[in-house]
Amino acid sequence: MSEATTRPVEDLALHEGPAPPARYRGEAPGLTQRIENYRLRAAVVENAHLARGGAIPDDALGLVSSDALRLGGHPHLIDAQVRTLRGDGPHAPTSLVFLGEDSPQRRFEARIADFVGMEGAVLCQSGWTANVGLLQTIAERGTPVYIDLHAHASLWEGIQVAGADPHPFRHNNIRSLARRIRNHGPGIVIVDAVYSATGSVCPLADVTRLCRDTGCILVVDESHSMGLHGNRGNGLVAEKGLLGEVDYITFSLAKTFVSRGGVVMGPDRVMEFFRFESRQAIFSAAAPLPHDIAGMGAALDLVENDTWRRQRVTQSAAWLRRELGVLGFDTAISQTKIVPLVAGSDLEVLRLLVALEQRGLFGLPFVSPATPVDKGLIRLTVHCDLLAADLERVVDICREARAELGWPLPFAGTQAAAG
C-alpha cells in the first residue's frame, strides 16, 4: 500500500513526551493533567490513517463505515432531498416543542413508529440527544438505573443528567443484573441490542423476562441493529418477538440510515411529555430540516424494500467472523456485521492497524474508554457490496498481519477442519 498511508510504528509517539510546562493558557492544573493523559491514549487514534485526514485509496478495502446497507449517496436518497429542498420553500430550524401535527417531522415519527411496531416516536437531533433526553424524561433523582457496563456513553450521560442512581451490571450477564435489582429494587434497565465496539448481542429474551418479573422498565438502544435485524429491518426486539415487552427503543439515524438524527420510541403519553420535558426539545432549535427528513424517509424505503442488502451483510459477516476466528482472532464475541479484531494494549492496536493499513485494509481503532483498558481492537464493519474476493482478501491480509506481528497462526489443517 502507498507510503502515505502509514508511518513506521517506531516513529509513533506512544512514549511519554517531555514534562508539560507548569501552565498552559486556559488550563487549570487538573485540566493540563487530563489533556496530557488524553494525548497518550489518543496516539492510536491520531495515528490511524483516517484520523490523519487520509482518504482510503481506491485499491484498498474500507471496512470503516456504519453504512452497512450502502445507502449513502443512493440516487433515491439524493432525489428525495433535492426535491424537498427545491420544492418546499424555506424552512427555519425550530425547537421540537413548536412543531405542528402536520409537519414532515411528525409524519416521519408516525411512519417510523409504525415500521418498528411501537406506539409513538419522537425524532431528535441525534442518537445522543435521543438517549440523554429519554433518560432525563423517564428517570428522576434517586431512580435506580441498571445499565450494562458496555452500554453507549450517551445512556450513561442521560443517567447523570437525570440525577438518577446508576448501578452498572456486568456485560450481558443476567445474574449480575438480577443481583443488582435484588439489592436496589425495581427501576430502569438499559441495554444496547448490539454493542458498538465488539458486535456482541444482548440476551434480550432473558432481560425482558427479568424486567417483567421484577417490575423494571426496559430501554433498548437499537442503533446498531435497526435496519439490519428483523424480517423487515425493524430491529432486534422485533426479530425476537419482544415488542410487547420493551418499554422504550432508541436509535441513531447516523448508522444504517445515513442521516443526522436519532429516534426515541415508547408509549404515546410519554412521547408527548418528552416533547415538552426533555431539555434539548425545548432549548435547541437544531432539529432536522424537511430535506433531512426526506432523506430519512428514502432510507427507510430502501431498508424496507431492498431485503438483499440485509441478507448479504448477514451472510458475509458470518463468513468473515468464522474465517478470522480460525486465524486466531477472538471474533466469537460478535454475532453481527461488526467484526472485532481484538489486539489488547494501545500499542498492539497500533501495530495491527499499521500492518493492516500497509496491506490495504482499513478498520476503525477502538481503545479505552470505548473498550475496557487493554482490550483495544480494530473494528471492521461488513457492508453489502463486499464480494467474495474482497472477503478473501481481508482474511489474507489479516493472516499476513498476524505473521508479521509474530502472533500465533493456526495449525495446518485447522482451517480445512473448520470449513
Ligand X SMILES: Cc1ncc(COP(=O)(O)O)c(C=O)c1O
Residues engaged in binding ligand X (CB under 6 A): 126-128, 131, 152, 154, 192, 196, 221, 223-224, 252, 254, 262
Q: Nearest residue to ligand X, using CB? A: 127
CB of 5 to ligand X, least distance (A): 25
Give me the least distance between CB of 37 and ligand X, in Å please. Answer: 23
The nearer residue to ligand X, 274 or 323, going by C-beta atoms, is: 274
Least distance (Å) from ligand X to the CB of residue 224? 6
297 versus 360: smaller Cβ distance to ligand X: 297
Cα gap 212→221, rounded to integer Å: 18
128 vs 146, which CB is nearer to ligand X? 128
Q: In one letter, which amino acid is 80?
A: A
Compare residues 108 and 355 and give the one whose CB is closer to ligand X: 108
Residues 354, 222: Cα–Cα separation, whole Å: 32
Compute the C-alpha angle 229/235/241, nearest 5°.
100
Instruction: Write down the least CB distance from residue 219 to ligand X, Å.
Output: 11
CB closer to ligand X, 151 vs 386: 151
- The answer to whether residues 125 and 261 touch, using CB atoms and an 8 Å cutoff, is yes
Separation CA 163–CA 140 (nearest Å): 6
Instruction: Answer for the pair 148, 189: CB distance below 8 angstroms, yes or no.
Output: no
Q: How far is the CB of 130 from ligand X (least distance, A)?
A: 7
Indicate if the alpha-carbon torsion angle 29, 31, 35, 41 is positive or negative.
positive
Q: Closest distance between ligand X and the C-beta of residue 35, in Å?
A: 23
Closer by beta carbon to ligand X, 220 or else 397: 220
264 versus 350: smaller Cβ distance to ligand X = 264
- φ/ψ region of 73 (left if φ > 0, alpha if ψ in -120 to 50, else beta) reads left
Q: How far is the CB of 372 from ligand X (least distance, A)?
A: 17
- State which residue, 254 or 282, has the beta carbon closest to ligand X: 254
With respect to ligand X, which residue has the nearer C-beta, 153 or 387?
153
Distance CA 194, CA 148 (A): 12
CB of 203 or CB of 328, closer to ligand X: 203
Least distance from ligand X to the Cβ atom of residue 417, Å: 36
For residue 259, the minimal CB distance to ligand X (Å) is 9
Round to whole Å and give the CA distance between 266 and 178: 24
Q: How far is the CB of 254 from ligand X (least distance, A)?
A: 4
